[in-house]
Amino acid sequence: MESREKILGMFYSDTNNLIHESIKYSESFSQETREQIKMLPFKFLGPVFLTSSSAEGNNWKIDLIESSLSMRQETKIRDVEIMIQSFINLNSSMIFEDGVTNLFTLIGSPYTEDIKPIYEKMTRYIHPSINQGILINKKRIGMKFKVARFIREELNRGINLIDYYLGSSRKMYWEEEHKYYCIGVIERKVSGEAKTSNLYTFDRDSLLRRIHAHSIPSFYVMAIIPDFYENLVLETLKLFGKKNLLPNIRQINLSSEQKKVIYYEEFVIEKEQKISLGVILIQEDANENETNNISHYKKHLRQILDQKIDIGENLMNINRDFSLEKWPTSQEEDLNKIHVYLDKEEN
């Protein structure tokens, strides 16, 4: 696989939140483009709203962002040769007494990659190697140890290792058959520059809403992240010259200690409008009513999209306890209402 067919980057943030990056890009890129690419780690690592809008005491992190890619309708045949099929971001976080370190990857590939072995290389080898190397060399060499240079060398080795494992077809793992409980549906519509989005969930006065409010960073955050990262991936693709491609968020995984949240989305493009439907899933209680595997939710999302069914007519098949009340999420004023009425456990 030639380098021009891929997008590869690896970022490391230390316990002081200093970010180090290693990103592969063409020598032909302008200086302005290179400077913009170097800013990507600051955008991908830790959106401000993820921490500021989460419940106090909850340290949520994003473990996976996966996007599928589709061709723009006006794409010419000659542009197909630079096609990449999937865009993946993986994050490894390690907590220490003096803070958290993160290792984050940026992968654009012509294949639907097998994520698990890549993530295992990050969490079991590359990330520990960087942390341990810094600790050992500081003790051994002291002030003479060039931390930034060491990290850059490790990131370069890490990128080469990830590059070596790219191209493996995806396998089915037993974890994917876990049962999940849906606590929200997000509908997004994009037509040119016009965007609308809505959240469906439990009634604001529902006991279930209060019970599950602590299971996610916040409804405010969950309403924002699909559009935020889809736009960020689009910006990244343009910087790397992949202007013929459009990203479509497929899955976002978040975690906080023992809590796990999956946002899974399906979409359809009709004429010049894209309609996306996503479910907010939690894996919290094995005895939870109406738990299903991801394929169950995928089936119902596809049914709604393919048969052009109104979302309200099918909500009961996703969760019979959902309210038909629509919560707009496009404007800051609407998001503030969600934060006030849905994210407070005492409401």
- Where are the chain's structural domains? 3-55+83-174, 177-341
Confidence band of 49 (pLDDT split at 50, 70, 90): very low
Over residues 240-257, the pLDDT tens digits come to 988 888 899 999 999 888
In this predicted model, what pLDDT tens digit does every residue of 215-237 receive, in sequence order? 999 999 999 999 999 999 999 99
pLDDT tens-digit series, residues 260-282? 999 999 999 887 889 999 999 99
Q: How confident is the model at residue 79 (pLDDT cuts 50, 70, 90)?
A: low
What pLDDT shows up at residue 209? 92
Tell me the C-alpha distance between 219 and 280, whole Å: 9
Read off the pTM: 0.91
Q: What is the pLDDT of residue 315?
A: 87
pLDDT of residue 155: 96
pLDDT band for 145, please (50, 70, 90 cuts): confident
Please say if the pLDDT value at position 136 is more than 90.
yes
- Copy the structure tokens of residue 327: 């919560």
pLDDT of residue 75: 58
* Nearest-angstrom CA–CA distance, 67 and 248: 5
User: Is the confidence at residue 82, as pLDDT, over 80?
Assistant: no
Distance of alpha carbon 47 from alpha carbon 273, whole angstroms: 28
Q: pLDDT at residue 311 above 60?
A: yes
pLDDT digit string (tens) for 57-71? Answer: 567 889 999 999 888
CA 61, CA 344: separation in Å to the nearest integer? 21
Mean pLDDT of the chain: 86
Res. 53 pLDDT band, cuts 50 70 90:
very low
What per-residue confidence (pLDDT) applies to 1? 39
Amino acid code (one letter) for 205: D
Backbone φ, ψ for residue 133 (5° rounding): -65, -40
Cβ-based neighbours of 27, under 8 Å, separated by 6 or more: none
Whether the pLDDT of residue 116 is over 60: the answer is: yes
